[in-house]
């Protein structure tokens, strides 16, 4: 908005209120954008809103074909996240390093990488259902399975201070002596 102030016979000066001037400029910019959008008849703007709701319970259940109908509290319920996750008794990296036997053919061919496995830690700490999630080479996969089968019992996961079955992802690294670890 403009304000006029008279100063004797010397004429008048125009002064502007800076806040109102800024608002006026923004308003004219918005009008200009609006006119541009309205002039484009074939322009469609689509906005999609996605949201997820999480349950209040912090545990997740991994469903599979054998146990899809299981409910929490059932004997064979498998948790993906438990209040107390399973723990390896000792240092798992030390166990892997000292017990891993690199397959000779894979070593000669220069095959290396990370084999990702999923296991179920049972209520008694034993390991079951070893599956390969990411494979590098069949020989390395077999060595990862052999290594996991040779592990001692884990400290089982707990839900409400009761031991439960928990699905656990365990990567096994295969590094060549002359290569940097992945």
The per-residue b/e assignment along 49-88, b for 16 or more CB within 10 angstroms, e otherwise, is: eeeeeeeeeebebeeeeeeeeeeeeeeebbbeebeebbeb
Cα gap 37→98, rounded to integer Å: 67
Which pLDDT score is estimated for 115?
97
Residues 6+ apart with CB under 8 A from 127: 119, 120, 121, 148, 149, 151, 153, 154
Residues 6+ apart with CB under 8 A from 92: none
Which pLDDT score is estimated for 71?
60
- Domain locations along the chain: 60-174
Give this prediction's pTM. 0.59
Cα gap 158→139, rounded to integer Å: 34
**Residues of the chain below pLDDT 70:** 1-74, 179-182
Q: Which residues pair with 134 in a beta bridge?
A: 116
DSSP 87: B
Which pLDDT score is estimated for 177?
76
Which pLDDT score is estimated for 72?
60
**Which structure tokens are listed for 69?**
């109908």
Fold of 60-174: TolA/TonB C-terminal domain (3.30.2420)
Which pLDDT score is estimated for 179?
61
Which SS3 state, helix, strand or coil, does residue 42 take? coil
């Amino acid at each position: 908005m403009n304000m006029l102030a008279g100063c004797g016979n010397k004429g008048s000066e125009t002064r502007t209120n800076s806040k109102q001037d800024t608002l006026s400029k923004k308003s004219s910019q918005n009008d200009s954008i609006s006119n541009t959008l309205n002039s484009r008849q074939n322009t469609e703007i689509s906005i999609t809103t996605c949201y997820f709701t999480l349950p209040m319970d912090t545990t997740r259940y991994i469903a599979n074909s054998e146990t899809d109908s299981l409910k929490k509290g059932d004997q064979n319920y498998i948790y993906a996240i438990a209040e107390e996750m399973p723990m390896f008794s000792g240092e798992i990296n030390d166990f892997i390093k000292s017990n891993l036997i690199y397959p000779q053919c894979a070593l000669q061919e220069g095959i290396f990488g990370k084999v990702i496995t999923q296991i179920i830690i049972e209520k008694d700490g034993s390991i079951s259902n070893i599956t390969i999630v990411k494979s590098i080479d069949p020989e390395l996969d077999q060595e990862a399975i052999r290594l996991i089968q040779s592990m001692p019992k884990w400290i089982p996961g707990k839900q409400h201070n009761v031991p439960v079955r928990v699905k656990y992802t365990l990567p096994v690294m295969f590094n060549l002596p002359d290569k940097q670890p992945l």
